[in-house]
Structure 1
């Protein structure tokens, strides 16, 4: 890369001398002219993109409006169909031609009620096919159906042989009120009344106008049709076919001409097996745009032809500086192979450019991998330890941790020679990749994951995780979950709670293999301890009655206590202490996890001693004790901040702060869940990162400035806390700085 920079500087210097040359201005003019066609082509491309995007938006809007209108129209059609089918329940006294005047009036009244039940029903006819008589709700008795207004009835019912059959007619022009009508014909043959039909006349024009009046904004661009299942137009017919209404002849719906660029959308109306068709004539919509594009194409061709002549004339001037610079470049280039050095100018520049691009791509890939490794290492330590100085916002942004999250811990049930936690992590990553957003980690002791929740409830996530596992996997591993949080600063709390759930849950139920911090297996069963005993134990703690407290512990954890009762009593006492604890709960959970991990809970003496230590903590004034610890922690932090570049021991810190070494370690453990050495190394690494980011200081100077005695140890610790060696971290930092600037 340094050799590239050297030759690049030579090329730049030689390029500046061209300004004084006579042909420089000629080249500048040619370059400016050459830039015109790309601008014109870009303009054409932008216009095409605009038309394509606009067409997509119009199609989506048209489809949305058509779906909404179709849904509302289908509801109305279903209501009309239900009214038509209700005609089967109408009590018909006899044939229309044989009815008395009173019976005719009563029957007409029943038919009028059917008409009044829906605004789109014009009239209802009762027709008898034997004598050809018909009773109309809007007219009265009709004996001769040869009139033009009723001739279609005889033709239509010839195909209706099935009782209770309901059929739809074609659209016709009603000569009585000059409206467009379609009819529903219902066969109502019964044993007493044979060959009778109810005919419901629907005002299709009113139905169409009511639902499509808002959609037909521009009739030249937007067209909407109602088509039946045979593909025949119900309404409205094209103007050239309007005479078919009078003849009652079906008109076939014709798909739009592709040359007109018409886009069509459809919506099914299952009530009457109709289809709504919406058309948009995009050619008419963008008529001016097409003319503009044609003019732009012609102008581009003319300019390209003219420029081709100019470029041909000035090509020798354009090639002259390239040949000169390439010659000078080859003179200083000794590391390239002979075949590359002996190539022509363009071949040499081509190979050089490819090499630079490959090097740049490789460098970017290395930087991206280093950044990813650094982010994962930081997230790992945030989960394992508590770090109050971490930049949680940038880490959350890097992993896109938004909303609620929870930590899951996966433990293998017993030793498995064929499996490791790294293999378990790879298997879980494949299972979770489809449905969950998570970050998976593993070490020698466990595998754990940070999973983002789609909702605040944990139960849904647990169900999905169980569905991802097969029976064999559920037998091989145990799963535990902490509480759900939204602040990444509480990541460590969720991890600690998940470990606590595993440690405590498996003591009670070793068959379940699924433990949640907020609902452990013991919570589902009635505890062995009576509530009165728990109240008495809590009362003894609050009143500092040491003898009573010790006596109750002896009763709860006797040598002859059964294992189930022993574990349940242990859990109930832990729950009581968690509720009463004045300190942060996570510190208490750490102590419990260590107690269980060391298998100390089955030792009566150790367990009772632990509970007595917790009892003694309540003897102190919680507020003053917390204030005193804060003061000690501040003095420890100030000492480390002032002396980290040099060498000092824990004894030096103890003498300065005025407390024992054991108490210092305890305070660090409670505050950060790490040892004092880890705390000191973490602080030194943070300072080393600042030096590597801020200035040109050499790495050999950095490690000595932050208190390390050797570079090898410094590099090992640095990689442990960041995932990168110092040189990789500096390279990544410089790349980020260049990108920002």
Structure 2
């Protein structure tokens, strides 16, 4: 024994050591991955800094060119060229400008009067269409005064240019234009050529506002629009705006090649680490399996005890021995919202021990058949009295369908050996109600001899023959509603006199109970519970006990009637205070402290309409007042009256008044107009 314990402890120690190594390896893998990511992040940061620095320098250079162009355009010597001498002097001045900026390599002056073109280091061109910028005559009139326009696509042999065209002020009818040619090749050499040294990794180029390439190391791409690389995970695209020329400096980085070696190293390290972790995990799994063996029996017993506790708690919940609690309801999240409780009571057709054994065997056979049926999901419980309680979980809310499936599942011989009492369909929170209803169905069903061994709360055997209603039943109902104690006592004595037959007595008892159930409404559950206790303790043939019980219910109904009257006033106050809000019947019932069904019952009894109808009536009255007293738009009136939909407001308004809201307002306007002349005449 000691050797087994020592061996077990050694195995535990080995497993714990291996388990402790796994976090260290995972931490190493995490740190390796973090280091690689940090390395990539630093490279990205350096690239981003280089892009920003280059873009800033280029922006500054372009701004200097633009400032120089604006200053030159303000020179009056270029504005008015009316004589050949003035043109000659302007050409000399253009040649002097060649040394002002290293990136502006050529100047042109377009004379709008004679459509000639002065070109630095060249002379005069009388026909601009034969020049390198044939568009100058057709497009320059579109440029506003003191404004400039950037033109691309002009090229000289082995050079790519960008033209700055600016309109000059002057006294002559046709204005002059000065053109500055910026050498893009020189700009590329100064700023971008070194950045594009590693052509496989980096690609820097210029685009205009439309995305057209202004300059690219591949001259064949200039003037084209490159495909969007944003969806390409291998290409990282960044850009910085050059606002002076409305251009953009674009950088494309081939990240797959850039981080190829880093990614390969990271993958190798992670592969080794995860392989080791995988091997250790397998070892831990097998070790834990061996270590878990002593606990399996303990876990099995705990699971069995947990199931027994769950079933015991559910049984107490059904019988009402445990109060309703949200924590208890959450214990059964898989439970269907449609539950039915049935009580199976064996018929003792044999005597003594033989009868008990036969009944138990038959009940067990019925339980097996119900459990095996695909039509039901059920839980079985044993009562202290020996009866069996069955909790059915339904996928629907149709009681007739359930009863049909139940009768089809059981054989006729099985039905003859047992009495099945069925309650109504309820949720888990109200499953105790179904249990009470099943008890009531059993107690009431026994007083009537019928062919069916199944008693259903919704339709008891005596309901199928519809016996003649005793006159005293109507007198009893009238006495309860009028709270006439004397008439109530006389009606009870007439219904339960000693001269009546057993059949008459039983039917009168059933009709009286049905009347009280209908009149008590939401309080019928406590009434059923007390009635079941009375039948169990004293039986229904004890006339004195029955009369005393029913007479006590007379006073209970008086309190209930007063309570209902009080709730009617509170319903009106709540609706009057909240009719402009969007609230539900559940919220209203919770505020009043009553159930939703009781709320509907009280409202129907007091106001002869449902709560929704009563609410709509108040809202329509408010809408009619607003239509008559204000000039508010009809759509806003619906909202201010509490309707959250204009179509629903229109529908309800016409339903209550017979006309639309606009017709109602027009009718009021017509009536007021007809009254004014009558007042004037009087």
TM-score tier, shorter chain, comes to 0.3 to 0.5
Relative to the length of structure 2, the TM-score reads: 0.40
TM-score (norm 1): 0.37
